[in-house]
């Protein structure tokens, strides 16, 4: 395949599709030979596992718990007022995060098309999208279906937790486990995502439900949570772990806000880091799933796709998997 070197790194093929110089692989946690130095770098470097995104979500969970929702006593009764406050907060966070990615990269195009996987921009005038617009279709499914389903899980958790019907954990009772949960939650979430995602690719569910998300072979930030409402129910079901395993409401918020907000980062359609390394974002691994459909169902953290024969790193001619 003829290709030309991109102005900084990576290549574009004859169709203008760009790919980074490194294949879509996995975290060093499961690589052989195992290297402690590589794992430490992956955990703590800028753009690694912890910084800045998980620190951002942990901070956001603390701020939400402390300042952006009523006290736990309020949730002893199901009341429209506090449920609406939770919904408005989640909607506001969604518009802020998804909207910022979209404005910077797609509306204002401050990074141009540099490191953009697909050279085309978001579709307009297409009958497959509501309002004939990919962006407005994605915004509709995210805000009208996704945020309310996310909020419904949160309302159920808060109501049951306030009523003493869920196992709760506070920092003073077990500070080590309290801190460890912030590291365990993403591992659980990404494993859950792999298996429910594989389920959604069962042909009947793919046609009836998951096809809404796959209207976006060239995804943008708002594509991340653009799903059929039944898929939202399945996707956010990973939050049910907090109904069984002792945790603090901050852990639930941490998990729910990662689930609700991080899909924007995974669907931006650009390879990070952007703006001279300042903005670590992008997900070539998941972009390949949108492009080819039958590969890379999970995330780069845990190699479920490699273990179960569904990994494609972006090199060589693609062959449909299973």
pLDDT at 7: 40
C-alpha span between 210 and 295 (Å, rounded): 15
Q: Report pLDDT for 3.
A: 39
- Buried b / exposed e along 75-111 (16+ C-beta atoms within 10 A): beeeeeebbeebbebbbebbeebbeebbebbbeeeeb
Structure tokens belonging to residue 25: 């692989």
What sign for the dihedral angle of Cα 50, 55, 60, 65? positive
Q: What is the pLDDT of residue 321?
A: 87
- CA-to-CA distance for 149 and 152, rounded, in angstroms? 5
Instruction: Give residue 10's pLDDT.
Output: 67
Q: Alpha-carbon distance 49 to 301, whole Å?
A: 9
Q: What is the pLDDT of residue 121?
A: 96
Choose among 277, 271, 270, 260: nearest CA to 122: 270
What is the pLDDT, as a whole number, of residue 6? 37
The model's pTM: 0.94
Pick from 255, 260, 252, 265: which is nearest to 300 by CA? 265
Sequence-separated (6 or more) residues with CB below 8 Å from residue 35 = 28
Strand partners, 19: 11
Q: What is the pLDDT along the chain (322 residues), one digit of tens a residue?
A: 333 333 445 678 777 888 898 899 999 999 999 999 999 999 999 999 999 999 999 999 999 999 999 999 999 999 999 999 999 999 999 999 999 999 999 999 999 999 999 999 999 999 999 999 999 999 999 999 999 999 999 999 999 999 999 999 999 999 999 999 999 999 999 999 999 999 999 999 999 999 999 999 999 999 999 999 999 999 999 999 999 999 999 999 999 999 999 999 999 999 988 998 889 888 999 999 999 999 999 999 999 999 999 999 999 889 888 7
Residue count (the chain): 322
């Amino acid at each position: 395949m003829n290709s030309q070197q991109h102005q900084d790194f990576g290549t574009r093929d004859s169709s203008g599709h760009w790919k980074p110089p490194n294949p879509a692989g996995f975290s060093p946690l499961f690589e052989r030979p195992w290297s402690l130095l590589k794992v430490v770098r992956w955990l703590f470097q800028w753009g690694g596992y912890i910084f800045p995104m998980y620190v951002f979500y942990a901070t956001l969970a603390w701020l939400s718990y402390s300042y952006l929702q009523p006290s736990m006593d309020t949730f002893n009764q199901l009341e429209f007022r506090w449920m609406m406050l939770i919904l408005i907060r989640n909607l506001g966070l969604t518009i802020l995060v998804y909207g910022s990615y979209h404005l910077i990269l797609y509306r204002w195009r401050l990074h141009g098309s540099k490191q953009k996987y697909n050279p085309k921009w978001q579709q307009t005038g297409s009958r497959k999208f509501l309002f004939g617009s990919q962006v407005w279709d994605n915004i509709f499914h995210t805000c009208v279906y996704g945020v309310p389903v996310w909020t419904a899980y949160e309302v159920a958790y808060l109501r049951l937790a306030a009523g003493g019907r869920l196992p709760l954990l506070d920092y003073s009772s077990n500070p080590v486990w309290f801190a460890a949960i912030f590291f365990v939650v993403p591992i659980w979430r990404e494993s859950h995502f792999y298996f429910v995602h594989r389920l959604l690719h069962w042909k009947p569910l793919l046609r009836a439900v998951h096809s809404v998300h796959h209207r976006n072979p060239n995804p943008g930030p708002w594509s991340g949570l653009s799903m059929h409402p039944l898929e939202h129910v399945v996707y956010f079901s990973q939050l049910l772990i907090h109904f069984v395993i002792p945790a603090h409401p901050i852990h639930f918020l941490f998990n729910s806000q990662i689930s609700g907000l991080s899909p924007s980062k995974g669907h931006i359609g650009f390879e990070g880091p952007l703006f001279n390394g300042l903005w670590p974002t992008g997900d070539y691994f998941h972009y390949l799933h949108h492009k080819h459909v039958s590969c890379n169902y999970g995330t780069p953290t845990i190699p479920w796709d490699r273990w179960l024969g569904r990994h494609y790193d972006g090199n060589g001619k693609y062959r449909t998997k299973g």
